[in-house]
Homo-oligomer: A and B are copies of this chain.
Amino acid sequence: MKSIRIYDTTLRDGVQGQGISFTVEDKLKIVKVLDEFGVTYIEAGNPGSNPKDIEFFERVKNIKLKNAKLIAFGSTRRANTTTEEDANVISLLNADTEVVTIFGKSWDFQVTEILKTTLEENLKMIYDTVKFFKDKGKSVIFDAEHFFDGYKQNPEYALKTLEVALEAGADSVCLCDTKGGAFPMEVYEITKTVVDKFNTEVGIHCHNDNGMAVADSIMAVQAGAIQVQGTINGYGERCGNANLCTLIPNLQLLMGYKCVPDENLKQLTHLARFVSEIANVTYDERAPYVGKNAFSHKAGMHADAVNKNTYSYELIDPSLVGNSRTFLISEVAGRGTVLNAINEIDPTITKDSPETKLILDKLKEMEYLGYQYENAGGSLELLIRKVLGKYKPAFNLKEFKVIVNEPSVNSVNSSALIKVEVDSIEEIAAAEGDGPVHALDNAVRRVLERFYPQIKEMRLTDYKVRVLDSNSATAAKVRVIIESTDGKDSWSTIGVSTDIIEASWRALVDSIEYKLNKES
């Protein structure tokens, strides 16, 4: 089985993505999880262009890496100067990593039109800079920027830049599709030419401007590249870099290459979500392998087929990448789909048990009212518990009142009053908020804390609203979905009503009931 070196650049090229920035603390955390996961290289910063990275490289020395090698990234020296006089080169040296990656231009157009120097001087810049770091005892990877665009316009010059880097002692060369416009077939052919011509390790670095970053990387591997650069979740400038969360399962589970230990691959979904949390970027649930939807089956026929044989509509067993199969409980869902959820509560129930029919009938009734449980596992579990008699109501609502004022009174525009009864004890509370739902949310937590102090552990992390049958306009039904967490688990609940306050209320109540039933 051929080994592929995974070269992660989330912390360097990834942060070029819009809205992505990491503190030094963030970067140290991500270095640790990437190392645990088992990538070969972690390109962690550009100390020449980013002063924050200088601090990072200082602090990262305290972390003992088990698998990965840390890389500092930087440019060739500038034109018409010496490496020793170039501040960026010196910063890169001071980062004090065992491996450095030097990028230089391989496209003649970029040399003459952007760097505004001669083709000859550019070759010297590459040679001098690689040689400088080799003389300092570093391993050096040469990143051939714009290699594919360059090769298509002037193949001799593009190849010459590689030749010069290797003459200067570079340990490997990486072909970069910097503009992200290369197509799979040409990447295959051009990479093959390089692999055949030079006796060195070849790497690939792709951008996704034409949606081909992962495909191009795979074609390069098929042509003989053995080092693949990319980022977690495909973060990166413009449309991003090759997404390692797609690339690694493709290579390792479908194509038979070895990237990381099989056992570690199970960390992948967690890793993707973890980095997304730190980056504070909305997670792509439709992402191959690691998205929630990747193993969701909505169409009834497909869901039935998956129950017959998972191989029929799934590429891999989702647990191999730490993901799991979610069945969407839609109006077309078959009996088998619901059974999986029932069995998590009572494993003795079969598809022919009378309870199963009762639950399906109840689901049908609720779906008719606009409920949809595909993204509301907490409410689905409560519904099943109710039918099975495994549910205990946490409180009775006596009443609530929500008042919205425009203009605001003392800068508060919404307030809520709520009265509940628990074990024959009545309690009343009030709270204010940004809008009526927020006020009600605050009030119900306050009134229940007396009875259930563990409610303090719980917080809402997401609130979504969808209008159903929206052509009934403001009298339309709305569906609210809430996500909650208590730090250990997270769960989703749903409420439907023509009144958004009531729909929100129902989802809120389910969220609280789920938390309390889970622990009872």
A residues apposed to B, CB below 8 Å? 16-19, 23, 25, 49, 109-110, 113-114, 178-181, 183-185, 188, 208-212, 214-216, 218-219, 222, 234, 237-240, 243, 246-247, 249-250, 254-255, 280, 282, 284-289, 291-302, 305, 308-309, 311-315, 328, 332, 374-375, 397, 399-407, 413-414, 433-438, 440-441, 459-467, 469-476, 478, 482-483, 497-502, 504-505, 508
Contact = CB atoms under 8 A, between A and B. Distances in A.
Contacts of A462: 470-471, 473
B184 A184 contact: yes
Contacts of A289: 209
Given A184-B185, A212-B214, A404-B501, 15 more contacts: A17-B286, A18-B285, A18-B292, A19-B374, A179-B312, A179-B313, A181-B254, A210-B315, A211-B247, A400-B405, A401-B403, A435-B497, A435-B498, A436-B499, A459-B473
A12 B494 CA distance: 26
A339 to B, nearest CB: 18
Contacts of A311: 109
A214 B180 CA distance: 14
A250 B210 contact: yes
A239 B291 contact: yes
Nearest to A437: B474
A255 B405 CA distance: 59
Contacts of A500: 435-437, 465, 500
A184 B218 contact: yes
B465 A473 contact: no
Contact of A313 (B178, B247, B249): B178
Contacts of A472: 463
A157 B110 CA distance: 52
A471 B25 contact: yes
B406 A399 contact: yes
A499 B434 contact: yes
Contact of A473 (B16, B302, B463, B467): B463
A182 to B, nearest CB: 10
B438 A16 contact: no
Contacts of A292: 18
Contacts of A508: 474
Contacts of A504: 474
Contacts of A471: 23, 25, 461-462
Given A18-B296, A211-B250, A238-B294, A308 B113 contact: yes
Contacts of A210: 246, 249-250, 254, 288, 315
Residue from A109, A114, A247 having most chain B Cβ neighbours under 10 A: A114
Nearest to A146: B312
Contacts of A297: 237-238
Nearest to A311: B109
Contacts of A466: 280, 465
Contact of A403 (B113, B246, B403): B403
Given A438-B474, A470-B464, A298 B16 contact: yes
A209 B402 contact: no
A434 B237 contact: no
Nearest to A497: B435
A441 B216 CA distance: 48
Contact of A16 (B109, B299, B403): B299
B470 A474 contact: no
A255 B184 CA distance: 12
Contacts of A25: 471
6 contacts: A17-B293, A18-B293, A49-B332, A211-B247, A212-B215, A214-B215
